[in-house]
Amino acid sequence: MPIASAKQMLQKATDGAYAVGAFNVTSFVQMLAVAEAADQARAPVIIQTSVTPAKFYGPEVIAAACRSLAERVTVPVCLHLDHCTDLDFCKRCADAGYTNIMIDGSGFEFDENVRVTREIVEYCHSRGDISVEGELGTVTGVEDEIVVSEDSSALCPVDKAVEFVERTGVDLFAPAIGTAHGVYATPTPNIDYDRLGLIVELVHGMEQKTPVVIHGGTGLGNEVVRRLIELGGAKFNVSTDLKHLLLDTTAQYLEANRTEYNPGKLDKAVKNAHLERVTDWMELLGSAGKA
């Protein structure tokens, strides 16, 4: 099937009280593995790229590869651009075939965040079924080239959530609630569950229930993940986990097979490791069997 838009996929997840895994990939082997894992698990899935890999391959190449994979499998696959601060690049990715764009205006003051997010919403919506994710408050840690220290992080103000969604027209809302990009020091970090609960209640009470996105999936304990989904998280972002898996699997394979010189076998090892890990995530998130 064609690449799916995130909006409908996540409205369904919101109603069904499960989350769709949104997996950041940096290579085609990872992209292939995520699509195949989704197909095998009968799970809707979001493949996402940060800005650096999107620029490295070119969004047109990534979209073409994803389109071809999406046509090969029988579950909905969405292609998402993650944390982009560059308006022109957001637009280029939308034109190239990405079906969900995250404009990250969280580094700006509220009104400027609204303005840039609104601009991308108008652009994407005028071009068809392309949905947009916006963020309010800042998620700490490192995601691609965006580095936010704990000091400069601000959680999403509850009283601004509805205004942000209304004024921007975003399809998906990512509030900062204390989760972080990268590796946590503990599997039970300081997450503001009450804040998430209040925000979800507010944005689900709007004329159109707006699906809520959870950033910083890597390293959270299973109970934490389940609680975030119970509270309304419908898109669950996982990036660092797959970056580590890619590099660790590669290093281990090369160490064990140093004189083999057969890249195809290395690709297979990397793919198999991802099939297993992504399937585990889909079972935990409750998306397995939902396509």
Binding flag, residue 216, ligand 13P (CB under 6 A): yes
**Strand order of the sheet with strand 146-148?**
146-148, 140-143, 180-181
Q: Which is nearer to ligand 13P, 25 or 238 (CB)?
A: 238
Binding flag, residue 82, ligand 13P (CB under 6 A): yes
H or E stretch at 252: helix 240-256
Quote the least distance from Cβ 48 to ligand 13P, whole Å.
7
Cα gap 230→226, rounded to integer Å = 6
Quote the least distance from Cβ 126 to ligand 13P, whole Å.
26
Binding flag, residue 239, ligand 13P (CB under 6 A): yes
Binding flag, residue 237, ligand 13P (CB under 6 A): yes
Cα gap 145→166, rounded to integer Å = 29
Q: Which of 178, 217, 232, 286 binds ligand 13P (CB under 6 A)?
A: 217
Binding flag, residue 218, ligand 13P (CB under 6 A): yes
DSSP conformation letters of 105-154:
-TTS-HHHHHHHHHHHHHHHHTTSS-EEEEEES--EEEETTEEE-TTT--
Stretch that binds ligand 13P, among 62-70, 112-120, 153-161, 232-240 (CB under 6 A): 232-240
Binding flag, residue 135, ligand 13P (CB under 6 A): no
CB atoms within 10 A of CB 223: 10
Q: With contacts defined by CB under 6 A, how many residues of the chain interact with ligand 13P?
A: 15
Given 39, 82, 241, 280, which residue is catalytic?
82
Binding flag, residue 189, ligand 13P (CB under 6 A): no
Stretch that binds ligand 13P, among 6-14, 108-116, 234-242, 276-284 (CB under 6 A): 234-242
Q: How far is CA 90 from the centre of its chain?
A: 15
Encoding tokens for residue 272? Answer: 């198999």
82 annotated active-site: yes
Q: Which is nearer to ligand 13P, 192 or 241 (CB)?
A: 241
Q: Contact 199/156 with Cβ under 8 angstroms?
A: yes
Q: Contact 20/235 with Cβ under 8 angstroms?
A: yes
Binding flag, residue 143, ligand 13P (CB under 6 A): yes
Q: Which of 92, 215, 274, 277 binds ligand 13P (CB under 6 A)?
A: 215
Encoding tokens for residue 278? Answer: 């992504």
Site for ligand 13P in 240-269 (CB under 6 A): 240-241
Encoding tokens for residue 179? Answer: 């989760």
Q: What are phi and psi of 206, to 5 degrees?
A: -75, 170
Encoding tokens for residue 41? Answer: 């698990």
Q: Which is nearer to ligand 13P, 64 or 107 (CB)?
A: 107
What are the residues binding ligand 13P (CB under 6 A)? Answer: 24, 82-83, 143, 181-182, 215-218, 237-241
Catalytic positions are 82
